[in-house]
C-alpha cells in the first residue's frame, strides 16, 4: 500500500476534520500553551519549548493540535511546530513531515521538516529519505536531504555512502559534507575517511579533517601535522589543527612547535586551541608550565583586543581546555577586564567550571 494512496489509514485519519481528532482532555493544556504565542524573545522561546514538550508528552494525540499551526504566516512558529511534530515519534507526524518535503514547498519549511524527520527513530525513514534525495532536483533541498541522511545511524546507510563517496555523480562539496557528518558515527570505518586526506581536492581534504576531529581513536596526530605543513590555504590548516588536537597520540610539544611556525593569525589561534587540548590531557608539569608561559599571555591578549567574537571565543576555549592554573587565571583576567558583558560572563563561567573540576579531582 502506498503512503500517498487514499487507502492509507494514516492519511485517511489526517483527512478527518480537526475537531474529530482532538481529545477533550488536552484542550485546556493546549489553550494554556497558546497564550504564550504572542511573546517575543525569551517568551517566544518558552512557547517553542512548550510546543516541543506537548508533542513529546502526548505523541500522536498532539498531532492535530500542532498541524493546525502549520498555516501560521510566521516561519519561526512553523519551524517550531515541525520540530514538535518530530518528537511525537508518530506515523501521523511522519506523514505530515513527508508531505512538507517537496521542491515546491517553502524551502525553510521543507528543510526543517527534513531535519525533524531525520531525528525520528523509525529505521524505515532512512530508506524514504534516500529515495527522496534521489528524486528531487539539484538544489538546497537535495543538499539538506543528503546532510540528514548522513546523520542517520550508520548501520542504515553503510550500503549507501561508501559507494556514493566514490561516485562521480556527486560533487566534491557534497562529498565533503557527507565526510564531515560521518565523522560523528563511531561505527563508520576509518578506512572510509582517511583516503580522502590524500585527495587533490581541497574540499575533500577539508571534509576528512572535519571527520577526524570527531575520531580521537584514529591516532593520526603526527600525520595530520605533517599534512598541515603542505596546506597553502590557512582555513584548511585550521581544520587540520582541530583534527590533530583531538587525536589521542598528539603531544603538547608537537602542537607547540606548530604554533611557533604558523604565520596566519587565525590559524595560529586554532593551533593554540589544539595545543590547549593536548595540555588538558597531560599531567606533565613541564608541558603545563610551558603553555602558561608561552600561550596564556597571547590568548588573553587575543580575547581582549581582537574585535571578532568568534576569535575571542576561540581564545577562551583554548584557555579552558588547557585546565592549568595559568589558563584559569587568564580567564579570570579576561572576565574582569573585557568591555563585553557577554565575553565577561562566558570567561567567568569557564574559570568557575575549571575550579569546580579541580575541587572534584582533589576529593
Domain of residue 246, residue span = 169-250
Q: What digits encode the pLDDT tens for the residues 54-113?
A: 999 999 999 999 999 999 999 999 999 999 999 999 999 999 999 999 999 999 999 999
What does the pLDDT average to over 294-309? Answer: 97
Whether 145 and 182 map to the same domain: the answer is no
In a domain, 159, yes or no: no
C-alpha cell at 151: 546523520
Q: Which pLDDT band, with edges at 50, 70 and 90, does 8 fall under?
A: low
- Give the span between the Cα atoms of 82 and 114, in whole angstroms: 9
Whether 147 and 16 map to the same domain: the answer is yes
Whether 246 and 268 map to the same domain: the answer is no
Whether 136 and 219 map to the same domain: the answer is no
Whether 126 and 210 map to the same domain: the answer is no
In a domain, 324, yes or no: yes
Secondary structure tally for the chain: helices H, strands E: 24, 0
**Which of 250, 277, 294 delimits the end of a domain?**
250
In a domain, 145, yes or no: yes
Over 70: is that where the pLDDT of 6 sits? Answer: no
Shortest CA distance to 180 belongs to which of 144, 206, 154?
206
- Give the span between the Cα atoms of 76 and 66, in whole angstroms: 14
| Cα separation of the two ends of the chain | 62
C-alpha cell at 175: 562529498
Q: Considering the chain, what percentage of its residues have pLDDT values greater than 70?
A: 90
Q: Are 183 and 193 in contact (CB under 8 A)?
A: yes
Whether 228 and 292 map to the same domain: the answer is no
Q: Which pLDDT band, with edges at 50, 70 and 90, does 5 fall under?
A: very low
Query: How many domains does the structure of the chain reveal?
Result: 3
Amino acid at each position: 500500500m502506498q503512503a500517498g494512496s487514499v487507502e492509507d489509514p494514516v492519511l485517511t485519519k489526517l483527512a478527518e476534520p480537526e475537531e474529530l481528532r482532538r481529545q477533550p482532555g488536552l484542550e485546556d493544556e493546549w489553550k494554556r500553551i497558546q497564550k504564550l504565542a504572542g511573546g517575543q524573545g525569551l517568551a517566544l522561546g518558552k512557547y517553542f519549548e512548550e510546543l516541543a514538550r506537548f508533542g513529546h508528552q502526548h505523541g500522536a494525540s498532539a498531532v492535530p493540535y500542532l498541524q493546525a499551526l502549520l498555516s501560521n504566516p510566521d516561519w519561526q512558529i512553523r519551524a517550531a511546530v515541525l520540530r514538535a511534530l518530530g518528537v511525537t515519534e508518530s506515523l501521523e507526524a511522519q506523514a505530515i513531515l513527508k508531505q512538507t518535503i517537496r521542491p515546491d514547498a517553502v524551502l525553510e519549511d521543507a528543510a526543517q521538516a527534513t531535519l525533524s524527520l531525520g531525528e525520528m527513530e523509525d529505521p524505515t525513514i532512512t530508506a524514504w529519505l534516500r529515495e527522496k534525495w534521489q528524486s528531487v532536483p539539484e538544489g538546497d533541498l537535495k543538499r539538506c536531504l543528503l546532510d540528514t541522511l548522513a546523520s542517520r545511524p550508520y548501520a542504515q546507510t553503510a550500503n549507501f555512502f561508501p559507494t556514493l563517496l566514490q561516485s562521480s555523480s556527486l560533487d566534491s562539496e557534497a562529498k565533503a559534507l557527507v565526510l564531515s557528518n560521518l565523522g560523528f558515527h563511531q561505527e563508520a570505518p576509518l578506512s572510509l575517511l582517511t583516503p580522502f586526506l590524500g585527495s587533490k581536492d581541497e574540499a575533500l581534504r577539508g571534509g576528512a579533517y572535519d571527520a577526524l576531529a570527531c575520531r580521537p581513536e584514529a591516532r593520526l596526530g603526527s600525520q595530520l601535522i605533517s599534512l598541515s605543513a603542505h596546506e597553502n590555504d590557512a582555513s584548511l590548516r585550521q581544520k587540520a589543527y582541530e583534527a590533530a588536537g583531538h587525536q589521542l597520540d598528539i603531544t603538547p610539544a608537537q602542537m607547540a612547535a606548530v604554533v611557533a611556525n604558523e604565520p596566519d593569525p587565525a590559524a595560529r589561534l586554532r593551533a593554540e586551541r589544539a595545543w590547549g587540548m593536548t595540555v588538558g590531557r597531560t599531567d606533565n608539569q613541564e608541558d603545563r608550565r610551558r603553555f602558561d608561559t608561552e600561550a596564556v599571555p597571547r590568548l588573553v591578549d587575543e580575547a581582549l583586543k581582537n574585535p571578532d567574537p568568534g576569535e575571542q571565543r576561540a581564545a577562551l576555549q583554548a584557555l579552558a581546555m588547557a585546565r592549568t592554573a595559568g589558563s584559569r587565571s587568564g580567564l579570570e583576567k579576561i572576565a574582569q577586564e573585557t568591555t563585553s558583558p557577554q565575553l565577561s560572563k562566558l570567561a567567568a563561567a569557564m574559570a568557575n567550571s575549571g575550579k569546580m573540576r579541580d575541587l572534584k579531582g582533589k576529593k
